[in-house]
Structure 1
Amino acid sequence: MDPQFPESFNHRTEKLSTGRTYHFVDQVPEGYDPKRTPTLLLVHGFPDLWYGWRYQIGPWVRRGARVIAPDMLGYGGTSKPVDAAEYSTKKLCADLAALLDFLGVQRAVLIGHDWGAFTVGRFALWHPDRLLALVMMSVPYTPPSRQYIPVEEVARRAPNLGYQVYFAAPRSSSEILAHLNKFLSVIFSPPDAKVDFTLLGSLENILSKQSAQGGPCILNEKELQYYYSEFGKGMHGPLNYYRTSKFRHDEELAFGLPADLRPDLPFLFLWGTRDSTVVPSVVAKSSKFIPRYQGVAFEGRGHWLMVEAKDEITENIINWLEGLTSSTRATKL
């Protein structure tokens, strides 16, 4: 499991009971016991892949966990429906539950980053009995809303989320693909790069400029090339996540999803203090809906915590989980 060699991980591609095919990495530790070994299900965000967890998978397996890291719907080797309705969080959560079913795992620790954080937070509402613990990174928990808020209104209320208006527009799929090198270098820029793409219209302006490709990047050349090769297959699927707000709202309202997480569910939220997409007021409010809330802020870090703070993230999460298991006299990680 060498982070610089994606092929060194154990790759699988399987068709799930939901009818969708998922590619995922499945790493089993030495002495694996299906009844005692905890499973960590890692859910990436945008624009990312299973590969976003490359620095965490090996250390967590060596600490005794089974680690499952899928390419989410629309990404990498996983099915890529065209219709945005197929990317609703309810359907994504059904896929994740089906993946656990396929692997014979009844309950798992879910860990999500960015869109993956939102997804695992909703998984805790749609499938509350399938979780051992929940870790969300970079996107704080927000409860289901009884009122639909269009993305344009979201951007008006929170200007640092203005980029979502562009991502939600159908034209962004082809435009971003046409400027993929520049897009990736902007998205994966370090927090001190002074490249602000978050405000309404900023990203389109950056991509349209005839400037040299890229700038400072948190990825090395080999990592960047892997992302480029995967996203070069198309950006429509990944961007469809930003086109689901009405579908998600209608499903949650119809089902009557609760606002609060399960009372006994251990919860950890991690974020970087220099992440321009994190809304501090939302972070503060989220704890009201989470009975066992714990939070850790990483000073000076940006959005891509699994890379920018790879060692701290790896240790913080596994130590927290080991603390939970030892305190409950359950299986040690």
Structure 2
Amino acid sequence: MDFKQTKTQRGFTYSYHFAPAASGKPTFLFSHGFPTPAYVWRKQIVFFESLGFGIVAPDLLGYGGTDKPTDPKAYVGSGLAQDIVDLLDKEGVEKVIGVGHDWGSRVVSRIANYHPERLVGCAFLGVGYGPPASRYADPIAQSAQIKEAVGYDVLAYMQYFIEPDAHVLMEKNFDSFFSLLFPVPKSESQPEDVWLENMCAAGKAKEWIVANKTTGLPPYMTFEASRSDKEYYRKALSQEGGLCAPLCWYKVLVDNYNAEDDSKIPESAYVLNKPVLFIAFNKDPIGLPMFGMATHAAFVKPESNLTNKAVEGDHWAVMSHADELNKLLLEWTEGLKL
């Protein structure tokens, strides 16, 4: 992947992959999450570029070749959305199909709230639309309510991720961090459900890293391929600014200024009136399909604008089920008749 750089109105330098669209083809904005720079989209980028689609795939704030501020205030939704609009303006791209995964769905959500005219549609993969916080909505404070609804603490890992020095040990014990974030699926040879038993249980994520626990590699990473992938992440996350900045994506949510920033959005902009594709990842214990389904039922209008699909993958289905996801995204996009 080749990257360009530009400075946004907020003064941040962004690194991004760009490919212009062929005549008559729309442009995709691929918005990644934690802890993956734009590199996580490589299988989507190769597929859609080969078909003539335009691509804008930034390393979002805190990642890769993009600036890495460590003040959580830099990660408020209005600022992140404006940064992306600045990239589009730089390349003369008027409208895009926003595609979000993990925290990238929050960026697409805020573009939809603040700059709906720049979107022809939204595709949320695994993690759905994130409506604005109408009041102070610390997600950790909601853990008990979520636990009652689903039977376990979906957000337990956040308690560790927001600790001031969490990044230090994560970087030191990188192999352990990598094993925790990219888990081997539960099987006869791997009896532990790594995320359910460690990310979704109080104190267990920290215990995993402190103990420097490691596992094998997930099956979507063959030895040769994953060795280069893992080294890419090692360099990006432990040698080029580390994890302090990426973890700010979590820290901003537990500070009041996130809700204060969201309060700028008028309630009339909460509803998505563009075509929306939601692809649920049925084996993700954190990004549960029920969350996206409920949110989209409430905020996507009219109902005919919503298309629901699913794949039998975990949180990293963008890699493990790339061919299936690409096909679903292509079929939906072609159905828009742009």
User: Normalized against structure 1, the TM-score is what?
Assistant: 0.88
Q: C-alpha separation between the residues in 2 aligned to 1:276 and 1:214?
A: 19
| Structure 1 residue 249 corresponds to structure 2 residue 255 | no
Letter in 2 for 1:293: L
Q: Which runs of 5+ in 2 are unaligned?
A: 147-152
| Structure 1 residue 179 corresponds to structure 2 residue 178 | no
1:81 alignment counterpart: 69
Letter in 2 for 1:315: K
| Structure 1 residue 230 corresponds to structure 2 residue 236 | yes
Q: C-alpha separation between the residues in 2 aligned to 1:307 and 1:279?
A: 18
Question: CA 1:204 to 1:107, structure 2 compared with 1: closer, same or farther past 3 Å?
Answer: same
| Structure 1 residue 297 corresponds to structure 2 residue 299 | no
| Structure 1 residue 28 corresponds to structure 2 residue 20 | yes
Partner deviation per Cα, 1:221-264 (whole Å, 9 max, x = no partner): 1111111111012101100000112322111114435464342x
Aligned residues: 311
Question: What aligned pairs does 1:1-333 form with structure 2 within 5 A after superposition?
Answer: 9-28=1-20, 32-33=22-23, 36-158=24-146, 159-192=153-186, 193=190, 194-196=193-195, 197-199=198-200, 200-211=202-213, 213-217=214-218, 218-219=220-221, 220-232=226-238, 233=240, 234-245=242-253, 246-258=256-268, 260-263=270-273, 265-286=274-295, 287-291=297-301, 292-299=305-312, 301-325=313-337, 330=338
Measure how far apart 1:20 and its partner are: 1.1
Measure how far apart 1:172 and its partner are: 1.1
Question: CA 1:176 to 1:58, structure 2 compared with 1: closer, same or farther past 3 Å?
Answer: same
Q: Which runs of 5+ in 1 are unaligned?
A: 1-8
Q: C-alpha separation between the residues in 2 aligned to 1:152 and 1:323?
A: 39
Q: Give the SS at the match of 1:236.
A: coil
Percent pairwise identity: 29
Partner deviation per Cα, 1:109-134 (whole Å, 9 max, x = no partner): 11010000122012101111110110
Q: C-alpha separation between the residues in 1 aligned to 2:265 and 2:140?
A: 25
Measure how far apart 1:138 and its partner are: 1.3
Superposed CA RMSD in Å reads 1.7
Q: C-alpha separation between the residues in 1 aligned to 2:157 and 2:283?
A: 17
4+ long deviations beyond 6 Å: none
Q: C-alpha separation between the residues in 2 aligned to 1:114 and 1:204?
A: 21
Residues 121, 141 of structure 1: 8 Å contact kept: yes
Q: C-alpha separation between the residues in 2 aligned to 1:111 and 1:210?
A: 34
Letter in 1 for 2:280: W
